[in-house]
Structures are given as structure tokens and as C-alpha cells.
Structure 1
């Protein structure tokens, strides 16, 4: 059992206690059970698929804005992120990051 399995179990308990709806719980359980089966390579494949690029960019954009980095610097950082997404694989980024 790993952390994702524990989270899935927690959602089961919340659903059984009536604290969250069955619809919400089932979706969360499905996702966390899937993640429980993934190793680091699987997660890298998911990131390399670009499925999460917009979310990662939004997090980074928020981080640089909250850090009060100049707009010019923000643009440079976001440009580098786009380039890295296009040119590097997740395993390489993890290894060198």
C-alpha cells in the first residue's frame, strides 16, 4: 500500500460516512487507485504527454507573480518552460533539475 492507496481509502470512508457524494468519491478513488499503480516512469510518461502542461504553466505563472518578479523576467521564465517542455523529457528534467 502506498500514499495514493491510503488517499483512495480515505475517500471511501468519507463516502461511507456521507461526508462527500458518491459521484465525487468514486472519481477521486478511481484516480488515486490508478496513481497507486504508477511508478516514476509512468508519471514521467504522463507529463511528457503534455496533458499537464497548462496546469504546470499556471502554477509557474502564479509563482513568479507572487514572487514579484518583473514582468520581463516572468516572460523569460515562461518562455524557458515552454522550450523545456518541447525539448526535454520529464526523466531528464528530474535527473538534472
Structure 2
């Protein structure tokens, strides 16, 4: 990590010790953790899940609306076929 940050290991250790002392981060085993970032990740995950649920509901409503429109169109076409079969094609007599 020190090489990636281009600092000496002793400098990085001092920085990390200071952040731990100020409770900005904490050590978990051989790793470091920031609770604020953890909270932010949880909030983002909740928002993403809710957005996904809302999108799914919208998609389902859209499909339901589409089905009912198609059903109405089919019903209208069927009625027009019935009228045509009765000899009433809907054309004005000349």
C-alpha cells in the first residue's frame, strides 16, 4: 500500500495510527475499515434495491396495460368481423 501511495512504510504507519486514534478508521485484523464508508455502501445498496423493485413494478404495470389495450383491439376487430359477415360492411350505400 505504501508503494501505491508513494510514501515510506513508516510514514503510512504513522498516518494510519493517527486515523485510528482519531476514530476515522479502525483495524479489523490485518485490514482497515471506515464505518462511514460502510454506512454509505449500505445506503446505496438499499436505494438500488428499492429502485430495482420500483422498475419491476412499473414494467409489470406496463405489460398489464398493454394486454388490456390488445384485448380491446381484438374485441373491436371481432365486432367489425361480425358486422361484415352480416352484410353490413360499414360502407355507405351509393
TM-score, normalised by the number of residues in structure 2: 0.26
TM-score, normalised by the number of residues in structure 1: 0.26
Structure with more relative contact order (C-alpha pairs < 8 Å, separation 6 or more) = 1
Greater C-alpha radius of gyration: 2
